[in-house]
Amino acid sequence: MAGTLTKQGTADEARIDAGPEDGGWRIGAVGRWTLHGAAAASDALDRAPKPQHGAAVRIDLARVEALDTVGAYLLSRLADRLGAAGHAVSVIGLRPDHAALFNAVRDAGKAPPHPIEREHHPILDMIVRTGETTVNAVKEILDLVGFLGLVTVTFARLILRPSRLRLTSVLFHIEQTGLNALPILGLLSFLIGVVLAFQGADQLKRFGAELYVVNLLGISVLREIGILMTAIIVAGRSGSAFTAQIGTMKVNQEVDAIGTMGLDPVELLVVPRALALMITLPLLAFYADVMGLFGGAVMAYATLDITFGQFIRQLHSAVGINTVIAGLIKAPVFALVIAMVGCYEGLKVSGSAESVGIMTTKAVVEGIFLVIVIDAVFSVLFSMLGV
């Protein structure tokens, strides 16, 4: 039997009966351990006699009439506190209808187990990161290919039903991606032409072949640099804008609203942007070619005394129509890739402003990377075809 017990509280209040029993220490919880009596329960726990150091403690909950989350928390905290003080604690007499709640509250209070520390090997970590990056890249490529298929099907559907094409949206994006890009594109192309002419002249002077700077400039600008620089600038300017615009709509749940109204987000948001960019990028590339050649002509006149007439005659003899076509034929492909990546990443925005920034950066990087890869594929293909 128990020794002298300390009793506190009224019949309805939560109270504690504590005292020595069978060589150990027994703490009996009595009454209603609920939120209504939390203050009295906490006071009872504070005033209860403390067991001797190292004594085994049994917490008897058989006489608990009602238990909620607050009461379960107070009792589980008592058990944890006694256990931390070095007592062997056991909980007995727990009614079945109270057991689930008490155990859930006690488990929730336990700290999560610390992960097992393993020794990190830099080479193994590098291999793991490389594998994860490769898997994610392959998944991203497959998703992009699937999105390209979806855009292609939508294009085909609009060809069969052209009345569904939103010309106002297409014209708006033509202005945004084409007309508004002329100043920055023209300035950069002009400066690139100046740099190419200056560097080429500096090298060709050693061989007395200054006039061939026109050949160097014409072939490099018309075939590669003009269209490549245009695509990179457009990817950074318009591709990021597509992602930010659609991503903001995704955050504001406007894309979900479009789908709820029975409209196709790809048809409404992606196709007008892709079509507008496929129209403007060839024109921008031609404009960049002209400005690059003009910059080269100015530098050739300033450093080599090559007049504009001589420049044009030498350019005519150095390059043919195939050189111009070889550069411009890449433009629609680059435009489709840039628009597709920008819109795809915009539709992947998860719903936060931070996600918009992350996806915008990702769209620019992926767009420029794919443009350079496709340009390399075109170069190999043209070499095989003898173009």
372 and 298 part of one domain: yes
Render 308-361 in DSSP notation, one character per residue: HHHHHHHHHHH--HHHHHHHHTTHHHHHHHHHHHHHHHHHT--SSHHHHHHHHH
Q: How far is CA 336 from CA 130, 220, 285, 296, 341, in A?
A: 29, 23, 14, 30, 8
28 within 8 A of 6, measured Cβ to Cβ: no
| pLDDT at residue 9, rounded to an integer | 44
Instruction: Please tell me whether residues 157 and 95 are part of one structural domain.
Output: no
Same domain, 213 and 303: yes
Compute the distance between CA of residue 147 and CA of residue 111 in angstroms, rounded to an integer.
Answer: 44
Q: Clarify whether residues 188 and 62 are in a common domain.
A: no
Whether residues 226 and 374 fall in one domain: yes
Q: Are strands 24-33 and 89-92 parallel, antiparallel or unpaired?
A: unpaired
- Name, in order, each residue with C-beta under 8 angstroms of 23's C-beta and a sequence gap of 6 or more: 56
Residues 66 and 210 in one domain: no
* Same domain? 370 vs 228: yes
User: Domain for residue 82, yes or no?
Assistant: yes
Share of the chain above pLDDT 90, in %: 35
Domain boundary at 108, 125, 158, which?
A: 108
* Residue 10 maps to a domain: no
pLDDT, mean over the chain: 85
Residue 8 forms part of a structural domain: no
Grade residue 3 by pLDDT with cuts at 50, 70 and 90: very low
Same domain, 104 and 175: no
- The CA-atom distances, in angstroms, between 271 and each of 140, 143, 153, 156 are 21, 18, 11, 11
Higher pLDDT: 48 or 337? It is: 337
pLDDT of residue 110: 65
78: CATH: 3.30.750.24
CB 387: neighbour CB atoms within 10 A?
Answer: 13
For 12-58, what is each residue's pLDDT tens digit? 677 888 778 777 888 888 888 888 877 877 887 777 778 777 778 88
Q: Which pLDDT does position 283 carry in this prediction?
A: 94
Residue 9, Ramachandran bin (φ over 0: left; ψ between -120 and 50: alpha; else beta) = left
28-37, 108-117, 184-193, 357-366: range with lowest mean pLDDT:
108-117
Residue 201 counted as domain residue: yes
What's the predicted TM-score (pTM) here? 0.67
Residues 82 and 174 in one domain: no
Confidence at 195, pLDDT banded by 50, 70, 90: very high
CA angle 79-81-82, nearest 5°?
65
Task: Tell me, yes or no, whether 285 lies in a domain.
Answer: yes
What H or E segment, with its residue span, contains residue 351? none
Q: Are residues 161 and 285 in the same domain?
A: yes
| pLDDT greater than 60 at residue 277 | yes
Residue 123 lies inside a defined structural domain of this protein: no
User: What average pLDDT does this structure show over 246-261?
Assistant: 88
CA distance 217 to 30: 95
Which domain, by its residues, includes 96? 15-108
Same domain, 182 and 86: no
CB-CB contact of 158 with 271 (8 Å): yes
User: Could you tell me if residue 232 is inside a domain?
Assistant: yes
Residue 131 domain-assigned?
A: no
**Count of structural domains, the chain:** 2
Last residue of a domain, one of 78, 108, 138: 108
Q: Which residues contact 244 (CB under 8 A, 6 or more apart)?
A: 346, 356, 360
Domain finish residue from 108, 134, 160: 108
Q: Rounded distance, CA 167 to CA 156, Å?
A: 16
The whole-angstrom separation of Cα 284 and Cα 134 is: 35
pLDDT-derived band of residue 165, with 50, 70 and 90 as boundaries?
A: confident
DSSP 8-state symbol, 113:
P
Residues 88, 211, single domain; the answer is no
